Amino acid sequence: MPHTILSLESSCDEFAAALVEDGRELLASVVASQAELHARYGGVVPEVAGREHLRSVAPVLDGVLAEAGRDWASVDAIAVTRGPGLGGSLLVGINAAKALAWARDLPCIPVHHIEGHLYANWLAPSLDAYDGTPPPFPVLCLVVSGGHTELLLMRDHGHFQRLGQTLDDAAGEAFDKVGRLLGLPFPGGPAIERAARDRDPAARLPRAWLRGTYDFSFSGLKTAVLHRVRKEHPEGVTDPGPLARAFQDSVVDVLAEKTTRAAAEFDARSVIIAGGVAANGSLRAALQSRCAVPVRWPPPRLCTDNAAMIGAAAHYRRQADPSLSFDLFSTSGPGVFQAGVG
pLDDT confidence of residue 44? 78
The answer as to whether 322 is a domain residue is: no
pLDDT of residue 2: 72
Tell me, what DSSP letter sits at residue 184? P
The reported pLDDT for the residue numbered 45 is 78
C-alpha closest to that of 272 among 298, 301, 304, 239: 298
Which domain CATH number covers 61?
3.30.420.40
pLDDT at position 276: 92
* Same structural domain, 146 and 87: no
Asked whether residue 293 falls in the same domain as residue 308, the answer is no
Based on the fold, state whether residues 173 and 59 are members of the same structural domain: no
**pLDDT tens-place values along the chain, 342 residues long:** 779 999 999 988 789 999 999 999 999 999 987 667 677 777 777 777 778 878 889 999 999 999 999 999 999 999 999 888 888 899 999 999 999 999 999 999 999 999 999 999 999 998 988 888 999 999 999 999 988 899 999 999 988 899 999 999 999 999 999 999 999 998 899 999 999 999 999 999 999 999 999 999 999 999 999 999 999 999 989 999 999 999 999 999 999 999 999 999 999 999 999 999 999 999 999 999 999 999 999 999 999 999 999 999 999 887 434 443 333 333 333 344 443 333
Specify whether 219 is located in the same domain as 207.
yes
The predicted structure's pLDDT at residue 36: 72
Residue 308: inside a domain: yes
Q: Write out the residue range of the structural domain in which residue 225 sits.
A: 139-298
Q: What pTM does this model have?
A: 0.88
User: Which residue, among 16, 15, 12, has the nearest Cα to 45 in the 3D structure?
Assistant: 12
Q: Which residues have C-beta within 8 Å of that of residue 319, sequence separation ≥ 6?
A: 109, 339
The whole-angstrom separation of Cα 33 and Cα 13 is 7
Q: Is residue 7 within 8 Å of 78, Cβ to Cβ?
A: yes
Write the CB contacts of 67 (distance below 8 Å, at least 6 apart in sequence): 27, 28, 29, 30
Question: Are 219 and 106 in a shared domain?
Answer: no
* 292, 178: one domain: yes
169 and 64 in a single domain? The answer is no
What is the model's pLDDT at position 158? 84
The Cα angle at residue 225 between residues 222 and 230, in degrees rounded to 5: 130
How many structural domains comprise the chain?
2
* Residue 151: inside a domain: yes
Is position 227 within any domain? yes
Inside any domain, residue 321: no
- Given this model, what pLDDT does residue 333 score? 38
pLDDT for res 61: 96
My answer on whether 308 and 283 are in the same domain is no
Amino acid at 81: T
* 77-83/4-9 β-pairing: parallel
> Are residue 241 and residue 275 in the same domain, yes or no?
yes
